[in-house]
Chain A
């Protein structure tokens, strides 16, 4: 598909470079080392971090922010470790994901992945308890992902029936893991998300 130059957003690169972790975007010289070492490319054929960087530099804002491949990055840092230009691709992709999440919250975009829901549900556990509470996380994530409480509980059972039983039998789902943790300083954690976060 030809690029329509009049639809490009020349400010997009600055927008990314203004995010924490996105600062080094413009140093990319398109060598493809990141893509060649990325383990996701073996599983998802369309996956190409070099291309996401290129499209970002060109200003293809809409295409980049709505690209579902943004959400299958493992943050494994292989690309970052190998990049000759120190672009910090894993951090740049994270910066782009955060812009996409804000755009979705503003109603400008629909993200084709459950990952933002999962990350939010995870963060809510930290705000509430100060630590991760697995059960609380599953109870929030599954209904949201499936669109209803009943469907959510069914999907959760399907994913966790065997695993939960296995962990229980091995004494890894005892009372300590079933009860919500309560960090005494959890009010501070809530404050951190409010003052430092983007929500």
Chain B
């Protein structure tokens, strides 16, 4: 293992709807011996709602500059935050005029282009590595999982760190901890969860999320695993609303990959926030041996 300290960018839902993801991310890194230092006074990455890329770059210049002062690379558990941080990092490294302009707006936007930005999945598999994780496993997580990746892990190409059509990083971790990947879910791995339209076209968003839940259920999954809080909000948080609106029953547990990994590392379920997922996770806990 080559890293022992990283700057942590939690993202806006980390205090609320994705507190379980935040808790499990911190607990897992601690167990793996990597210290996380929260990016001090971080601001929102712009999410999907700030459409002007130049504003996104400026917002993230501040976040990047804060971590750069500490001389630390940034890791985030949110796919959208990752996408915004990474594309900003690339743009700022390549565009001197932009950097000069930002410096002129405020000295806190003065970023020197010296750090890297990463998604937790990338750090687990490619930086910490499977051997290192394997050496720390304490339990077998004997569950059938539908690994759902969503949008910004395999695309767009310039920020992607996994295959666009059949990403595998989460699959690798699940297999490592003794889980099984359900067949017939592959084509759903990267289809958008509908989250970006939740507040303006809830009907479309529900339809999108329902498809993912249905395919996972039909594939015989015990749970869906995730690596993004917006996917968590749609598939877990809103699942009961989807059932009610569409007059169906699904009852599919949805967990963050950090929660599954934490279980295998022997971390106590409540410390991983597993009592906070909207759909009950007790059946999964029963399969940890």
Listed in ascending order, the chain A residues whose CB lies under 8 Å from chain B are 20-21, 39-40, 43-44, 71-72, 74-78, 80-82, 88, 90-91, 94, 97-98, 113-115, 118-119, 122-123, 125-126, 130-132, 134, 141, 159, 162-163, 166-167, 170-173, 176-177, 181, 183-186, 188-189, 191-193, 195-198
Closest 6 pairs between A and B when the two form their complex, measured CB to CB: A177-B16, A81-B155, A76-B192, A122-B49, A132-B12, A115-B200
CB pair A192 B241 closer than 8 Å: no
Tell me the bound Cα distance from A146 to B163 in angstroms.
Answer: 42
Please tell me which one of the listed residues B20, B200, B240, B276 contacts residue A71 in the complex, with CB atoms under 8 A apart.
B200
Q: What are 26 A-B contacts with C-beta separation under 8 Å?
A: A72-B197, A72-B201, A74-B151, A75-B48, A76-B192, A76-B196, A80-B156, A81-B156, A88-B156, A115-B201, A118-B200, A130-B44, A132-B13, A159-B202, A162-B240, A167-B278, A170-B278, A172-B17, A172-B20, A176-B16, A183-B42, A188-B109, A189-B44, A191-B106, A192-B106, A193-B55
CB pair A74 B196 closer than 8 Å: yes
CB pair A126 B43 closer than 8 Å: yes
CB nearest neighbor in A for B48? A75
Please tell me which one of the listed residues B43, B49, B109, B156 contacts residue A131 in the complex, with CB atoms under 8 A apart.
B43
CB nearest neighbor in B for A71? B200
Q: Tell me how many residue pairs across A and B have CB atoms closer than 8 Å.
A: 163
Please tell me which one of the listed residues B17, B43, B151, B240 contacts residue A186 in the complex, with CB atoms under 8 A apart.
B43
Residues 72 to 131 of chain B near chain A (Cβ within 8 Å):
105-106, 108-109
Given contacts A43-B207, A77-B151, A141-B199, 13 further A-B contacts (CB under 8 A): A40-B204, A43-B204, A114-B200, A118-B49, A118-B199, A122-B50, A130-B44, A162-B240, A166-B240, A185-B43, A188-B109, A189-B44, A192-B55
CB pair B204 A44 closer than 8 Å: yes
Tell me the bound Cα distance from A197 to B50 in angstroms.
Answer: 10
Q: Does B176 lie at the interface of the complex (its beta carbon under 8 Å from any beta carbon of A)?
A: no
CB pair A170 B62 closer than 8 Å: no
Contacts of A44 in B (CB 8 A): 204
